[in-house]
Amino acid sequence: MPDFESQVRDAFPTLDSVERDDLRDRIVEAWVLGLDRGGWRDIADIPYAWNIDEVSTVEHVHGVATIAVELAAQQRTLHGADPDLDTVLAAALLHDVGKCYEYTEFVDDDRLLDPDPTYAGDVIPHSLSSYALAHEVGCPIAVQRAIPHVIGEIPKRTLEAELVKEANAASSNAITQATMGITLEEWIDEYSQTSK
């Protein structure tokens, strides 16, 4: 079995910025569970999207975490807001862990070992399975609430959730623009009907 814990810790250098040791360990645990259940060989093999594999989920998640931290700093400087940085970082690092389950059907078999059919598949959207993994490993409710990033999934959003959502949109727009020459909204319009 691959050493998923080392893979996760190496993939996400921003983990070191999470101040609470227990939270850092829960982030790693969620990724390890996702990778194992999804049957992945390597965390770097998970594509950004079902039809965009030039960029990995790792690259995107690292980008979202970096952007979210910058957004939090700007909100603090410009407006005196006080977002909880551990919550922002944890949610950013976990917002796409559910892709470990969802994208197994869209990659070549050589990237996978033995996906667990109880979890692996595209039936549950990754934003919800990401939330479920964070819940399962005992992340604080503030982190869990900041993970779902599709409008309407959480009725009352926190500042931390908004920062992660906006960082995700910025990273996603950059990726779809660079790889396909279209905005995220155009990608959603074009592919949301054809992805399933």
Query: Quick check: is 196 in a domain?
Result: no
Q: What is the pLDDT of residue 196?
A: 44
Task: Tell me which H or E stretch contains 171.
Answer: helix 159-180
Tell me the per-residue pLDDT of 58-78, one tens digit each, with 9 for 90 and over.
Answer: 999 999 999 999 999 999 999
Distance (Å, whole) CA 40 – CA 111: 6
Tell me the per-residue pLDDT of 164-175, one tens digit each, with 9 for 90 and over.
Answer: 999 999 999 999
pTM summary value: 0.94
Query: Quick check: is 97 in a domain?
Result: yes
Query: Quick check: is 153 in a domain?
Result: yes
Domain CATH number, residue 29: 1.10.3210
Query: Quick check: is 115 in a domain?
Result: yes
Which structural domain, as residue segments, surrounds residue 170?
4-191
The torsion angles phi and psi of 47, rounded to 5 degrees, stand at: -75, 160
Name the domain count of the chain: 1
Tell me the per-residue pLDDT of 81-123, one tens digit each, with 9 for 90 and over.
Answer: 999 999 999 999 999 999 999 999 999 999 999 999 999 998 9
Query: Quick check: is 149 in a domain?
Result: yes
Tell me the per-residue pLDDT of 9-42, one tens digit each, with 9 for 90 and over.
Answer: 999 999 999 999 999 999 999 999 999 999 999 9
